Structure formats: structure tokens, C-alpha cells
Amino acid sequence: MIVYEIKPGDSIYSIARRYGMSMDKIIADNELENPNRLAVGQSIVLMTDTIPHIVRRGDSLYSISRAYRVDLEQLKSANPTITSPYILSIGQVVNVPVPTKKRGLIYVNGYAFPNINMATLEKTLPYLTYLSIFSHQARPDGSLIPINDTRLIETARNANVAPLMVVTNIEEGASFSSQLAHTLLSNPNVSQNLINNIESNLKSKNYHGVDIDFEYIYPEDADNYNNFLKTLTRRLNPQGFIVTTALAPKTSATQKGLLYEAHQYPMHGLYANHIILMTYEWGYTFGPPLAVSPINEVKKVLDYAITVIPSEKILMGMPNYGYDWTLPYKQGSAARSLSLKGALNIALRENVAIQYYTKAQSPYFRYIDNSGARHIVWFDDAKSINEKLKLVDVYNLGGVSYWTINQFFPQNWLILSSMYDIRKVI
């Protein structure tokens, strides 16, 4: 696999010739809607195991191996007809092997809303361990608002993907509620009722486990949350159900803020089977223009997390979306959420080059709309996805979790499956 960045003058034809590939394969793998239109800076994935190198004056197998950072013996093996590493002819083709060894076996979770297009779901399931169906909202009495999840559960299980029930403190008709979380966690009778209802739903609907996504919890409810998680896990694990939790991206135990304080990493790491770190939303709907998941900030979260949570329990959050901000940014104004393919389509439509912020390992571009308003778009592409997925190996993480899989972005899965094998638990 090669992540290739489009340069001025490139075409699919020229790229295919350069890498000895079929144009049709490049187009199909990347699901290019209009292969005649490419944006400078756009990243595509080339699913090949060799790079043809045209010998120039002064080349040797040794110099080629250094230029491509390939082991000399591997280069020799890929070119058995070359008998001397120092005698090459100008114009001769040397096949440079692309590393194909995978980095390990990992868990992959994907969040999905019940309204996901079933074709999109079926295309994505081969790359998942877990399908987390979002969400069963808890009521103040501990009951759960039902959702239309039967078809997703059945489809997931038929594809050997374990369905997880997501339970949230989203207030009916509203958003995440601190007061609702307080009611659920501080009242023993309500907590017990919630646990009973979770267990009942897991059994009746044939779920594999539950993901608890409680956000904006009052700091004084931290111990209550820990105790709830402890009780829930001890009830469910012996019956074969797993418990995961979704946690805000903290960089220290003392990080302030309603989103962070009640999410105590060590206790969740002790009780839960997996921890999903929500390593995204640095750039968010009502915030200033920023990369959604800047790798320098993600690393800070992981640096802290692995000191208090077993690294093999951690699933790093992967955003499958971007944002479009109108400039100049005004506090309180809302950015428009985009699919990754939708972001790329804007760059193609506006004929603008995609730039890359190396520190954050994130692509972005600017454009002017028909009304004359200036915009900036931050998103993820094949290049940034490749860099983030390397962190799983670097930090010895259990895997990754995608928010969400409702939109299919082929590069996500081409890169993931080239780098890792996906662990299946059913």
C-alpha cells in the first residue's frame, strides 16, 4: 500500500503508468466519482506491493534501497534477474518492494446510527470487531427509550461482528444532560433499575455487550459513576457480556472542565473491558476553525492514558467527518459538518489545492463561495488517517473506534486493513 499525494500535472493515467497499476483498480479502490478531476494535495491509496523504479545514471541497488528505505536483501530478492547490485542499465526497471507486513491484530469499533444505509453498513462490517448502535437514551427512572436496532444487530451478527448497545445520558428531545446523569448515578434505586434494563435488553435483543457513553457529568458524581461501572461490569461480565466506556480526551488527572472531571481514567481502566478515547472535536461545531483530530494533541492524550489504563484496553477514536467554517469566525457561529468525501468534493468543485498542516498531520483548504464568503475546511484524508493509525502500534493500543461509520470513506478501510488484521470475537 502506498499513500500518494496528487501533484500538479498528475492524472490517474500518469500515476497508473508510474506505478505499473491498472487505472480501473485505482479508480475502484478509491471510489473516485470523477477520475478526470483531481485536486492538488489530494491523497489516494495505491494498493500495490511494488514500485517500478526507472534506473538513472549513477543508480545502484544500494542507492535505490537507501532512497526508498528498503532493505537491500529484500530489494535483491524482488529482482532475481539482477546479478550485480552495482551494474544497472539506464532505463532499466527495478521493482522496489512495498512493505506488506502487518503491524498486528486489533479491535475495531464503529459507531452507527439506526438510520445507516444498509449498503454502507454491509460494506463496512468486514473491517469491524464491534458495531456500537447509537443510542439507547436513559430516562430519569432508569428505563431506556427503545430504538429501531433489530436489523442492525442481525446484519452485524451475520457478518461476525459483535453488536454493542450504546447507553447515553442524552435527555429525551435534547442533548447530554448533567442533571439526568446525576439522577441515574446518585439514586441507588434508579441505578439498579438502569442496570436491570440494560441486562434485559442485552439478552432480549442478542447484543454482545454495552457501551456506556455518559458525558458532562457533575464532578461530584465521579465516585457514583465509578461505582455504577463497577456494579454493571460485575453483573454482566460473568454472563459473557462486555462493558466499554467512552471517555473525554484528557491529558492529566487534574484536567478541569465539566466534560473531563468525572471521567476518571484509572477507575474505568480497572473495571471496563475496553476504553474508547474520544480523540476528536478539537475543531467542533461551535468552536474556532481547527483540525478535528490533530495528531499532536492526540499524542498528549495517549501519553497520559497509557500511564493509568492498560494500553491493550484502549481504542483510539478516529473521526470520519470534517467541518466547514465561514470566515471570519465569529464566536458562537456554527460550522457545517461534512463527510470526508463531501469535504473532498468541495475542494474539487472549487478547484482549490488541499494543504497539509504537518504539526497536526491534518489536511485543510480555503475557498470562496458564490456569495463571496470565505471558508476554511478541516478534515481527514488518506495521509492523515495513515499517520493516526500508526499510533496504535507505537502505543501498543487495543485498537480504534470510528465516529461514525454512517458515511463510507474507502481510504479509511484500505489503510486500516493494509496495516492491521481485524480481531473477531464472534
Three-state DSSP state, 325: strand
pTM attached to this predicted model = 0.94
Fold of 2-97: Membrane-bound Lytic Murein Transglycosylase D; Chain A (3.10.350)
**Does the annotation count 215 as an active-site position?**
yes
Other C-beta atoms closer than 10 Å to the C-beta of 192 total 14
Spatial separation of the C-alpha atoms in residues 189 and 193, rounded to whole Å: 6
Q: Render pLDDT for 18-72 as a digit per residue (tens, 0 to 9).
A: 888 999 999 999 999 999 999 999 999 999 999 999 999 999 999 999 999 899 9
| Separation in Å, CA 316 to CA 33, 119, 403 | 30, 26, 11
| Separation in Å, CA 394 to CA 7, 44, 65, 166, 293 | 30, 24, 25, 29, 17
Residue of 215, 261, 297, 387 with catalytic role: 215
| Separation in Å, CA 64 to CA 46, 53, 54, 89 | 20, 8, 10, 13
Tally the residues of the chain.
426
Could you tell me the residue ranges of all domains in the chain? 2-97, 105-422
Give, for 130, the enclosing helix (H) or strand (E). Answer: strand 130-137
Contact 79, 87 (CB under 8 A): no
| Residue pLDDT tens, the chain, 426 long | 999 999 999 999 999 998 889 999 999 999 999 999 999 999 999 999 999 999 999 999 999 999 998 999 999 999 998 887 668 999 999 999 998 889 999 999 999 999 999 999 999 999 999 999 999 999 999 999 999 999 999 999 999 999 999 999 999 999 999 999 999 999 999 999 999 999 999 999 999 999 999 999 999 999 999 999 999 999 999 999 999 999 999 999 999 999 999 999 999 999 999 999 999 999 999 999 999 999 999 999 999 999 999 999 999 999 999 999 999 999 989 999 999 999 999 999 999 999 999 999 999 999 999 999 999 999 999 999 999 999 999 999 999 999 999 999 999 999 999 999 999 999
Spatial separation of the C-alpha atoms in residues 79 and 82, rounded to whole Å: 6
Contact 348, 39 (CB under 8 A): yes
CATH 3.30.930.10 fits 105-422, yes or no: no
Give, for 125, the enclosing helix (H) or strand (E). Answer: none
Contact 289, 322 (CB under 8 A): no
Which residue reads 463531501 in cell numbers? 342
